[in-house]
């Protein structure tokens, strides 16, 4: 986005990418359907950026979700709104969009250098760029860094830039997993053997006493992951950071009231097993029943009132995030306090930052990509103003 803004203004742009081809993580985001943005009302949209919503609002105001869709249409790619409100290209793929975009950049004179990795600055301020032939020093009138966060390092975003910016006096926050799974202390061998990888569908999850959120997740060999967990990952991670663990409450049957469950469970089960009684009376079986058994004791199973309450609020204690490299995205990086309104580093005039290397996070649903696009545009416009001044 920065390269597009600058090249359209007649600036000569060289774009350096560490990987063998451009946009590897962008293409990964399109696996299973390219969710480019979201159609919800702007006030709700910007609230998804939580404590950084004010900063992201300044980026999105001139280039919001509607503007992004119009920009995509300008590349010859049509979009549609899914039932969840998420916005996708009509063919659901990232590759055609990226191809059309790269053609437009090249037609505008942008020179793209792949397998060129930035290694920081020389003592004279030149950029150190390593390639297959060695290392070269690049002098530029303005620089936009869009180096990614710390997840999916094999696609280029490995966080190696953090110490170089720290040495330059840039205020940073440690990179942490976002939109990630979490581990419990340990599941039983029985639960792991039978149900690792099983989806927990039509459930609700809450943390810190907040209203429960509906959705689904997956029971893994080490804990929980999936869309519902990702949506709450920032709160869960921060609770773990503060207290060493986070206890989430799982509602296994959100469509049924606790008193109705208690009445159904109190009915005589005769010679039927408890597993069959749970299935016949309240429709609870499979991984949900196994998890209920895992997290409760015999006394709870013997008391319909206690069992009903456990079904509606089953505590799961999470003790750590999954590794950063497994996360969909990352939190941390260059703080907004370290950049001006144009995303220029106050300690390195003429150097701008964009994308996931800035310290913000958002849930999946198109919010991550939209803010990356918008921040690239702001950084490009900032670099243009810097050059003109």
Task: Give residue 33's pLDDT.
Answer: 87
Task: Give residue 171's pLDDT.
Answer: 98
Task: Give residue 251's pLDDT.
Answer: 97
Task: Give residue 305's pLDDT.
Answer: 95
Task: Give residue 240's pLDDT.
Answer: 97
Task: Give residue 272's pLDDT.
Answer: 87
Mean pLDDT per block of 10 residues along the chain (389 residues) reads: 97 97 89 92 96 97 97 96 94 94 97 97 96 96 97 92 97 97 96 97 94 96 96 96 97 95 92 90 94 95 94 97 95 98 97 98 95 98 97
Which class is domain 2-177+328-388?
alpha beta
Pairing of strands 86-89, 79-81: antiparallel
Domain with CATH 3.50.50.60 in the chain: 2-177+328-388
**pTM, to two decimals:** 0.92
């Amino acid at each position: 986005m920065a390269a597009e803004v600058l090249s359209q203004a007649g600036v000569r742009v060289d774009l350096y990418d560490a990987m063998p081809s451009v946009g590897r993580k962008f293409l990964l985001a399109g696996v299973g359907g390219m969710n480019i943005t979201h159609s919800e009302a702007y006030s709700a949209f910007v609230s998804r950026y939580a404590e950084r919503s004010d900063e992201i609002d300044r980026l999105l105001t001139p280039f919001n979700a509607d503007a992004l869709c119009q920009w995509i249409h300008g590349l010859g790619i049509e979009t549609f709104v899914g039932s969840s409100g998420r916005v996708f290209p009509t063919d659901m793929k990232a590759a055609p969009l990226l191809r059309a975009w790269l053609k437009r950049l090249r037609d505008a004179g942008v020179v793209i250098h792949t397998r060129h990795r930035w290694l920081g600055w020389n003592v004279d301020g030149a950029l150190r760029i390593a390639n297959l032939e060695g290392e070269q020093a690049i002098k530029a009138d303005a620089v936009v860094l869009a180096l990614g966060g710390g997840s999916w390092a094999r696609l280029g975003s490995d966080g190696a830039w953090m110490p170089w910016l720290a040495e330059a006096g840039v205020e940073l926050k440690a990179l942490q997993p976002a939109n990630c799974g979490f581990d419990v202390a340990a599941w039983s061998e029985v639960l792991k053997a039978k149900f690792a990888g099983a989806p927990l569908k039509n459930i609700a999850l809450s943390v810190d006493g907040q209203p429960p959120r509906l959705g689904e997740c997956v029971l893994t060999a080490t804990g929980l992951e999936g869309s519902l967990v990702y949506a709450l990952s920032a709160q869960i991670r921060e609770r773990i950071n503060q207290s060493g663990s986070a206890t989430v409450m799982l509602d296994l049957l959100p469509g049924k009231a606790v008193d109705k469950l208690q009445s159904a469970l109190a009915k005589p089960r005769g010679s039927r097993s408890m597993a069959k009684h749970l299935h016949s009376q309240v429709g609870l079986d499979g991984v949900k029943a196994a998890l209920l058994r895992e997290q409760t004791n015999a006394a709870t199973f013997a008391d319909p009132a206690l069992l009903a309450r456990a079904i509606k609020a089953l505590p799961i204690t999470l003790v750590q995030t999954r590794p950063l490299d497994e996360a969909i995205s990352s939190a941390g990086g260059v703080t907004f306090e370290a950049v001006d309104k144009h995303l220029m580093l106050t300690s390195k005039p003429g150097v701008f930052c964009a994308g996931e290397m800035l310290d913000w996070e958002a849930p999946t649903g198109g919010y991550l990509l939209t803010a990356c696009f918008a921040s690239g545009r702001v950084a490009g416009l900032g670099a243009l103003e810097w050059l003109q001044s």
